[in-house]
């Protein structure tokens, strides 16, 4: 089965050379989403505002793949400041149900100009 390139119309295009997602077989691989509005402007508010914007974008890409975040089997969270870890966990629970939490990796990284990036793999089968 060939891979299918996904472009979510309600998510800003990345300036980097990547697709919003690629569906291959029964899996959707969602590229990292950041706190950016559909028109390409950055969400520059609090960590919580940025985190919700990034997770909202991830959810929009999941929908463009024909799924939703409840189908996530793996999530990657990248934080500019490790001090935001506890707050991120609180917000994360808003997007992923406690009875079906995906595997997750959270790491601090040198993000430039924003506080969080998130990616995921969904099982669509």
Domain ranges of the chain: 4-123
Q: What is the pLDDT of residue 97?
A: 83
Residue 4 near residue 22, CB atoms below 8 Å: yes
* Interatomic CA distance for residues 113 and 125, integer angstroms: 37
**How many H helices and E strands in the chain?**
2, 6
Residue 57 pairs in a beta bridge with: none
Percent residues over pLDDT 90 in the chain: 93
Architecture, CATH, for domain 4-123: 2-Layer Sandwich (3.30)
Give the Cα-Cα-Cα angle 66, 20, 87 (nearest 5 degrees).
90
Give pTM, 2 decimals. Answer: 0.96
Where residue 79 falls (left for φ over 0; alpha for ψ -120 to 50; beta otherwise) is: beta
Q: What is the pLDDT of residue 2?
A: 86
Please give the biggest Cα pair distance in the chain: 43
* pLDDT tens, residue by residue, 40-78: 999 999 999 999 999 999 999 999 999 999 999 999 999
């Amino acid at each position: 089965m060939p891979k299918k390139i996904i472009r979510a119309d309600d998510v800003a295009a990345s300036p980097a050379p990547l697709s919003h997602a690629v569906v291959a077989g029964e899996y959707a691989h969602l590229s990292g989403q950041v706190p950016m509005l559909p028109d390409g402007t950055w969400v520059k508010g609090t960590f919580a505002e940025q985190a919700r914007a990034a997770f909202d974008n991830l959810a929009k890409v999941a929908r463009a793949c024909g799924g939703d975040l409840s189908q996530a089997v793996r999530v990657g969270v990248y934080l500019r400041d490790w001090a935001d870890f506890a707050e991120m966990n609180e917000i994360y629970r808003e997007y992923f149900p406690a009875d079906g939490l995906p595997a997750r990796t959270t790491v601090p990284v040198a993000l430039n100009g924003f506080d969080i990036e998130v990616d995921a793999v969904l099982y669509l089968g």
